[in-house]
């Protein structure tokens, strides 16, 4: 397994729309393992393939306290949404920035698991927010895209300065 480089906002590659996974191959399973290791090391609770410059519909998530409950979503689709919740979100691609975003309170998602088998889950709360956040990455959206242009520009300036100062 390997720790992958995470793209940082405002990298234009974060706005690439991910393509569906055609086959859950050995290479995809290796990428899942590498993404999980990267997410845990960061540390984070979710990571989309887009964030590691792999533009396919693949997400890994683990919102458990013990970090031993990995959820893999391949080609995820939201089939139901209800309610609304505001949640302060952060992102491994926008380190150190936390802002409130409004999302659906509960969702149903159909996806493939690590073995290529289709399943459906119904979730709410933090896991619902996390799945919606990571699915946005697959659509080329970063959570700061929900913010006002003024806040977004401040964050962009801060991120560019951080990268320049490294």
Which residues are known to be catalytic? 134
125: left (phi over 0), alpha (psi -120 to 50) or beta: left
The answer to whether 55 and 15 have CB atoms below 8 angstroms apart is no
Q: What DSSP element (H or E) covers 91?
A: strand 85-91
DSSP 24-35: --HHHHHHHHHH
Q: What DSSP element (H or E) covers 106?
A: strand 106-112
| Alpha-carbon span 72 to 62, nearest angstrom | 9
């Amino acid at each position: 397994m390997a720790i992958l480089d995470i793209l940082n906002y405002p990298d234009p590659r974060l706005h690439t729309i991910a393509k569906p996974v055609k086959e859950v191959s050995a290479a995809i399973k290796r990428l899942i393992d590498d993404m999980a290791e990267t997410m845990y090391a960061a540390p984070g609770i979710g990571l989309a393939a887009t964030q590691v410059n792999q533009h396919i519909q693949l997400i890994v998530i683990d919102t458990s306290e013990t970090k031993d409950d990995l959820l893999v979503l391949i080609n995820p689709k939201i089939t139901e949404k209800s309610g609304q919740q505001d949640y302060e979100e952060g992102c491994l691609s926008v380190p150190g920035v936390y802002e409130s975003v409004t999302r659906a309170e509960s969702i149903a998602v159909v996806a493939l698991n690590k073995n290529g088998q289709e399943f459906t889950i119904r979730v709410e709360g933090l896991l619902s927010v996390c799945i919606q956040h990571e699915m946005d990455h697959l659509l080329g959206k970063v959570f700061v895209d929900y913010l006002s242009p003024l806040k977004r520009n401040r964050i962009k300036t801060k991120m560019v300065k951080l990268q320049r100062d490294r």
